Structure 1
Amino acid sequence: MDHISTVLVANRGEIACRVIGTLRDQGVRAVAVYSDADADAPHVRAADAAVRLGPAPARQSYLDIDRVIDAARRTGAEAIHPGYGFLAENAAFARACAAAGIAFIGPPPEAIETMGDKISARAAVEARGVPTVPGISRPGLDDAALLAAAADIGFPVLIKPSAGGGGKGMHRVEDPAELPGALAAARREAAGAFGDDTLFLERFVDTPRHIEVQVLADAHGSVIHLGERECSLQRRHQKVVEEAPSPLLDAATRERIGAAACDAARSVGYVGAGTVEFIVPAAEPDAFYFMEMNTRLQVEHPVTEEITGVDLVAAQLAVARGEPLPLTQEQVRLDGHAVEARVYAEDPGAGFLPTGGRIRRVVAPAGPGIRVDSGIADGVEVTSLYDPMLMKIIAHGADRAEALDRLDRALAGTVVAGVGVNVDFLRHLLADPDVAAGRLDTGLLERIAGGHRRRPAPDEALIAAAMDWLLARWPAAAASPWRVPDAWRPGGAAAQRLRLGAAGAAGGAATLIGITGAPGAAEVVVGARVPGLDGAAADDADPAPPRRYAVAAHRDGELLRVDVDGLARHWRVDAAGGDVIVAGDPGAWALVHRPVVRAAAGGAGDADAVLRAPMPGTLIAAAVADGDAVAEGDPVVVVEAMKMEHTLRAPHAGVVTLLAAPGDQVAGDAALARIDPDPDPRPTPDPGPGSPESRPDAQE
């Protein structure tokens, strides 16, 4: 198609925003599509026009081929860009576009079909001499044939489904005696996930690295590669951090693997941008084996763009117009190093369970070499209906060390308030010595994930938030000394106190802060016990001894200048409601004010006063009534989320105040109940047969 003036983007989130950005740069009109859940999403706002597809579920909106084609016709779109996910690798969709006279910005449907089936893909690339992992793969293999071939392949073997990916139906088998049962399980899983239980076997590659090559092909027979990407940092076969180039490959191997990727693309008459994925044994970096080809743009494509200077979406658009590739293989240059981190709506401290809710504030990083591809904004609702990836942060540097350092600093300045995200875990990952040294394999992330503990906000950030709170209560010019809120009493000023916790942290854990004096000259005590505060008790979230600081603070234009023990820093503090965003040179943090509840002598600490929802869900039961007395460990409320029941128990003896009712939809971290300390606790009773935690499907 020689002329393309309007392109419909059949996707959502960050990839839709990224594609729309290039279309606008190219002077091409961009049309967005959206479900009811995305009516005011950033990709809708960024487009020149937008069409509603239908209700929130993807099958009734983004995956409805007829509705997408109809939207393209109604808006005069000559082409459709599918992004990734949804319809991007759907051969039926590519054919529907052709039947409607609309260009599909992707490969021919035949290439999608061949590469979408791992057995046919393996046969196609083997015919071009591309190396594959030793194994057996052909249509119609039954269990008897797979069992007979396993001994010659050699154990351990890997069972893989022919249709689909993402690790579903994949099983590693060490013992030949376990193979029959594993085959039966793999067939069930593959049939359930993909509607096809065809399996094949490969030899398991020990300490594998996942390396992929970006290819570009035009309709005139030219195929080039743009170098490789290292994608070994994965969790449950889903990539988390990617980089280009790979720290493993030398120049000779890079040339060989690139040529093999081009041959794989030629084997199916490929046209457009695609990715050929290889598995590489960590102990044999000069050996590589074809794994699969993704017939679309990849999530991690920005790292290739950063080191080559090639806009892959612009190249896709040029190929769709019938133009030759914009450069030859000899003109491809790799400049420096780039690393990408995926920001997911998930809670690493709760087994990476998805989170959700309304985003109250987004603070995206900026600086030299930093790129952010985002699909979120303030006020956006994050639901479990779609992929949990919210944004990607990409850092480019002169070398790998600089790129990693820039990425870590960018993550330190990233805040997504209102929804739990994995940013702190990403920093934990980058700090691992093996990651820093480039000693990677696909199992590394899982091995080091258990060592992650969420880093608390530093005292400097907590003090900045506290001084902002104090200044907001301080009158600019008080008409009377009695109206100055300095906590003055005969005999001296009393300490004022507040509690600040990490936004999104479950359980209400927070740090108690005491302030004595005025903003210009105050003593601030941060920590578990604050002398002079009646009933102050140990805070489980911060067991360290209290820290005392001499502090002075004042507004300096739009910034807050805070002098802590003689060292002054400028902070940007944005407080709205209970949320506080604190950003400065050391980083950025999303904090929230927690209620201060006095504890009786010997009673519980402030951090335990409020029970909060561990994730978005439904409050399905209250085990007690408002005003009831409970003992430590008593069930209080039950939340259903992610098809599981979570029983929240009293952390100490006290009297219950219910803050939500059964049937309420609750956001993650929502306050559900408060336990005011009870000076006369009763023994913990045995749960009866009707209690929520006695149900076999209840989980904590």
Structure 2
Amino acid sequence: MAVFTSVLVANRGEIACRVLGTLRRLGVRSVAVHTAADGDARHVREADVAVRLDGSDHRGARAAYLDVDAVVGAAVATGAEAVHPGYGFLSESPALAQACARAGLTFVGPPTTALELMADKLAAKRLVGGRGVPVLPGTLDGAALATGTPAAEIAATARDVGYPLLVKPSAGGGGKGMVVVRMPGELPAALESARRVAGASFGDDTLLLEHLVERPRHIEVQVLADAHGAVVHLGERECTLQRRYQKVVEEAPSPALDDATRARLGEAACEVARSVGYVGVGTVEFLVPADDPTSFWFIEMNTRLQVEHPVTELVTGLDLVELQLRAAAGEPLPFAQSDVRVTGHAVEARLYAESPSRGFLPATGRVLVYDDAGAAAGPGSAPLRLDSGIAAGTAVTGDFDPLLAKAVAHGADRGQALDRLDSLLGSVVVLGVETNQAFLRDLLSDDDVRAGRLDTGLIDRLVTAHPAKEPDALLLTAAALLTLPPAGNGPWTANDGWRLNAPPVPRRVALVDDAGAEHTVDVTGAGPTVSLDGRRPVAVSLRPAGPPRAWLVTLDGTTQQVWAAPTPAATWVGAGGRSAAFTVLTRAEQAARRRALRAPLPTDGQASGEVRAAIPGAVVAVLGADGDPVERGATVVVVEAMKMEHPLTAPRGGTLRLRVRSGDQVRLDEVVAVVETTNSDTRGAS
């Protein structure tokens, strides 16, 4: 019997598709919402009913999803009984919970009091600290750092907490706005950045300071509570592999904990839930020092479903979305703590639209090819599962979080789960937008990751120690063969390079990869050989495979399936979880590049001084005024995209000439400022 007859999902992307899957299995009518920009999105096509949010044509796409009145109005208009907020957007919004109550709708989440208490990290720490839960040293006993707090008071608080410390918003979560401060001189800039992000993201720029634990592990506990006072936990998840405080790989259970610590951690999490009268699914997050995994400190409680919930589902066999719905409908928990069983191991990797070679900057584009035939979706689909919100044709913009999909694998033990996840990542195909897919496979093969020697700085160390790899020879060859002009009919129009009484002339294809490096591929003969960047010739063949846009490429005796998507701008190719976009150079373009390489490198005083946007997004700060003097390396403009701030710095010292204002939208590579200099003006140029 269905818990509700109709539920509106107030979200988009992979989480909306995930919730819709459970509603479909339960026989519940589903309602999706969308903006003017994503009316053909996957979550819209998978819902029974879809409603466009009013006003989404003249406001930002993200703003439309944050409109409480529009969301509740859509639910009422379509006859929905409940609103499921997913995660992100309005998932932890007391305003949405209250608006649902006024409209006679059920909010699939905890009571408003729990949302409000846990949204204030300072109040939450005071509350749970009073219940005996270990709390990290910070501003627990002092005032939160609201706008206008005197600088001397902030400096004194920082000294009391102790350096290094973390500046973080009192509201919100997901790592947004958090800044590490190691020296007192770094504090003012950190406060300014954190306040800006907190105000824009959460509508509250109050901050708190917290002592920074070096080499921490990030471990969280899944809790479940009903409206009748019962609270249980469903084990812990290890979420330590992160970059910029955003989780990348999660697993359950944690390889670091012993049984005694696991039991203490689970009970602490349940006590946190009891302290606010929690109802539904929630997550309690802890820091655990890598050098002493028997210790832990409470960080915060996420009063919603988490991105990484699938690993808990795979090791427990439970559907957390169904349990959310049943708790919201007032049903008692169907089991006790002693009934919870964790079986095997599960690992999840987040597939982001981002460029690892450019410091993991978010990437944008349109998905040209998408194939996930190697995985199932939703609970109960072990050992492989892919929760995705994209399809061929999906536009990936800077308006939303760069998360595209989550690859999850279950195994009898951790090693088997990692192997299965690597295999799954090797089978998924995404062309048209750059992703971290190849990086994830490299990360999973790292010795420290395989051994479970984790801390939150591991990814940063790996990126520094292992620079970006050269393009795969198979992908380079496939791109070259697919861009060669087709042969005509008859011997005089063949393009195999044949000459009378002379060796064949190679057909040369010049390609530029994503990083701007040029490669030459020489193709010789009708049953051809290829030479990559002057290396030894090897035999090659190209023939269509079964699926559309798939080819079988045999290179030096090894045959692999390669997916391809040629466009006027570039040729996208992918195989084995790796992808690349190559641009073909004309002879004139090749000559121009050679001339540029032969030209003397410009000195700092001769350089253009242009400051360009590394990513499309919104200008959230302009640090200085037109005509101000500026030092080399100083931040002049800050661009926000996909939940992250990206500072743009002066390439040299000189006089600042601004091209943008705060609030402007900028394109990728757009000039946002120019630093002018003269022969006598060389400040900061050394």
Q: TM-score, normalised by structure 1?
A: 0.77
- Give the partner amino acid of 1:205: V
The answer to whether the 8 Å contact 1:573/1:580 transfers is no
Amino acid at match of 2:403: M
Decide whether the 8 Å contact of 1:188 with 1:197 is kept in 2. yes
Select which of 68, 78, 90 maps to 1:65.
Answer: 68
Query: 1:570/1:70 Cα in 2 relative to 1: closer, same or farther (>3 Å)?
Result: same
Alignment partner, residue 450 of structure 2 = 436
Q: 1:42 maps to which residue?
A: 42
Unaligned runs of 5+ in 2: 376-381, 600-611, 618-638, 652-664
Q: Which has the larger radius of gyration?
A: 1
Question: Equivalent residue of 1:440, what SS?
Answer: coil
Quote the Cα distance in structure 2 between the aligned partners of 1:555 and 1:29.
42
Change in CA separation of 1:153 and 1:266 when aligned onto 2, cut-off 3 Å? same
Checking the alignment, whether the CA contact within 8 Å between 1:150 and 1:201 is kept in structure 2 is yes
Give the counterpart letter for 1:511 in structure 2.
H
Measured at CA, do residues 109 and 420 of structure 1 come closer, stay the same or move farther in structure 2, by a change above 3 Å? same
Q: 1:349 aligns with which of 347, 354, 357?
A: 357
Alpha-carbon displacement from aligned partner over 1:71-95 (angstroms, at most 9, x marks no partner) = 0011110010000111110111101
d(CA) in 2 for partners of 1:182, 1:690 = 26
Report the Cα offset of residue 391 of structure 1.
Answer: 1.7
Residue equivalent to 1:551 = 540
Matching residue within 67, 76, 80 for 1:77: 80
Match status 1:129 vs 2:132: yes
Residue in structure 1 matched with residue 222 of structure 2 by the alignment: 214
Shift of 1:109: 0.5
Say if 1:249 and 1:513 are closer, same or farther in 2 by CA, change over 3 A: same
Deviation (angstroms), 1:469: 5.5
Indicate the residue corresponding to 1:380 in structure 2: 394
| TM-superposed deviation, 1:69 | 0.7
Residue equivalent to 2:238: 230
Question: 2:525 is matched with which residue: 517, 520, 532?
Answer: 517
2:17 corresponds to which letter in structure 1? C
User: Which stretch has the larger CA shift, 85-94 or 135-144?
Assistant: 135-144
AA aligned to 2:525 is: G
Cα deviations across residues 109-144 of structure 1 (Å, max 9, x unaligned)? 110001111122112222332221244425745767
Contact 2:431 2:565 in 1 (8 A): no
1:490 to 491, 496, 500: 500
Separation in 1, partners of 2:423, 2:248: 17
What CA distance in whole angstroms lies between the structure 1 residues aligned with 2:598 and 2:344?
47
Does the 8 A contact of 1:355 with 1:668 survive in 2?
Answer: no
Give the residue type in structure 2 aligned to 1:17. C
Q: 2:212 aligns with which of 200, 204, 212?
A: 204
Q: What SS does the corresponding residue of 1:137 show, helix, strand or coil?
A: helix
| One-letter amino acid of the structure 2 residue matched with residue 451 of structure 1 | A
Give the count of matched residue pairs.
611
Contact in 1 for aligned 2:178/2:194 (Cα 8 Å): no
Are 2:219 and 2:285, in contact at CA under 8 Å, matched by a contact in 1?
A: yes
Residue equivalent to 2:103 = 100
Q: Deviations over 1:419-442 (max 9, x none)?
A: 222223333433333222211122
- Conserved? CA contact 1:513–1:526, under 8 Å: yes
Q: Aligned partners of 2:431, 2:189: CA distance in 1, in Å?
A: 43
- Equivalent residue in structure 1 for 2:584, among 591, 594, 606: 594
Q: Which moved more, 1:460-469 or 1:334-343?
A: 460-469
Shift of 1:511: 2.6
Are residues 572 and 127 of structure 1, via their aligned partners in 2, closer, same or farther at CA, if it must alter by over 3 Å? same
Following TM superposition, by how much is the alpha carbon of 1:271 offset from its aligned partner in structure 2, in angstroms? 0.4
The residue type equivalent to 1:15 in the other structure is: I
Report deviation, 1:571.
2.1
Alignment of 1:526 onto 2:532: yes
Task: Tell whether the 8 Å contact from 2:251 to 2:347 is kept in structure 1 after alignment.
Answer: yes
Deviation at 1:341, TM superposition (A): 1.7
1:18 maps onto 2:18 in alignment: yes
Q: Secondary structure at the match of 1:61?
A: helix
Matches within 5 A, 1:360-439: 360-364=368-372, 366=374, 369-439=383-453
**Cα offset for 1:305?**
1.2
> Which letter does structure 2 place at the counterpart of 1:276?
V
Q: Give matches, 1:313-328, under 5 Å.
A: 313-328=321-336
- Whichever residue aligns with residue 548 of structure 1, its letter is P
Change (3 A) 1:385 1:174: closer
Say whether 1:116 aligns with 2:126.
no
Percent sequence identity is 51
Go from structure 1 to structure 2 and tell me whether the alpha carbon gap of 1:132 and 1:600 turns closer, same or farther (over 3 Å shift). closer
By how many angstroms is 1:67 displaced? Answer: 0.7
Unaligned runs of 5+ in 1: 530-545, 619-639, 649-664, 673-686
Residue in structure 2 matched with residue 533 of structure 1 by the alignment: none
Q: Residues 26 and 473 from structure 1, CA distance in 2 versus in 1: closer, same or farther, beyond 3 angstroms?
A: same
Residue 337 of structure 1: CA displacement?
A: 1.7
Determine which of 444, 447, 450 is the counterpart of 2:464: 450
Q: 1:532-585 CA deviation, whole Å, 9 max, x = no partner? A: xxxxxxxxxxxxxx13102345556667554444x242424444445655555x
Moved more, 84-93 or 357-366: 357-366
Residue identity in the other structure for 2:486: R
Task: Give the match's secondary structure for 1:525.
Answer: strand
Assess if the C-alpha contact under 8 Å between 1:133 and 1:289 holds in 2: yes
Q: 1:364 to 1:450 in 2, by over 3 A?
A: farther
Q: Distance in 2 between matches of 1:152 and 1:139?
A: 10
SS of structure 2 residue aligned to 1:67? helix
Preserved CA contact (<8 Å) 1:121 1:292:
yes
User: What residue is the counterpart of 2:253 in the other structure?
Assistant: 245
TM-score (norm 2): 0.79
Q: State how far apart, in whole Å, the 1-side matches of 2:171 and 2:551 are.
A: 57
Cα deviations by residue, 1:281-330 (Å, 9 ceiling, x for unpaired): 11111111111100000111111112111111111112122222233222
User: 2: distance between equivalents of 1:70 and 1:605?
Assistant: 59
* Letter of the structure 2 residue corresponding to residue 302 of structure 1: P
Contact 2:179/2:194 (8 A) holds in 1: no
1:279 counterpart residue number = 287
Q: Counterpart of 1:341 in structure 2: which amino acid?
A: A
**Shift of residue 690 of structure 1?**
9.7
Q: Is the 8 A contact 1:9 1:16 kept in 2?
A: yes
Native 8 Å contact 2:164 2:212 kept in 1: yes
Q: Given the superposition, is the C-alpha separation of residues 607 and 334 from structure 1 closer, same or farther in structure 2, using an over 3 Å criterion?
A: farther
Contact 2:11 2:89 in 1 (8 A): yes
SS in 2 for 1:310: coil
Q: Secondary structure at the match of 2:273?
A: helix
What is the CA-CA distance between 1:399 and the residue it aligns to?
Answer: 1.9
Distance 2:519 2:650 in 1: 25
1:489 partner SS: coil
Q: 1:264 to 1:524 in 2, by over 3 A?
A: same
Aligned AA (1:526):
L
SS for the counterpart of 2:131 is coil
Structure 1 counterpart of 2:528, which letter? A
1:362 aligned counterpart, secondary structure: strand
- What secondary structure sits across from 2:537 in the alignment? strand
In the alignment, is the contact (CA less than 8 A) between 2:2 and 2:28 conserved in 1? no
Given residue 488 of structure 1, which amino acid in structure 2 is its aligned partner? W
2:328 is matched by which residue type in structure 1?
A
The alpha-carbon deviation at position 467 of structure 1 amounts to 4.6
Q: Which letter does structure 1 place at the counterpart of 2:506?
A: A
Deviation at 1:265, TM superposition (A): 0.4
List per-residue Cα deviations over 1:594-621 (Å, max 9, x = no partner): 134265699459999xxxx986659xxx
Q: Match of 1:247, as an amino acid?
A: P
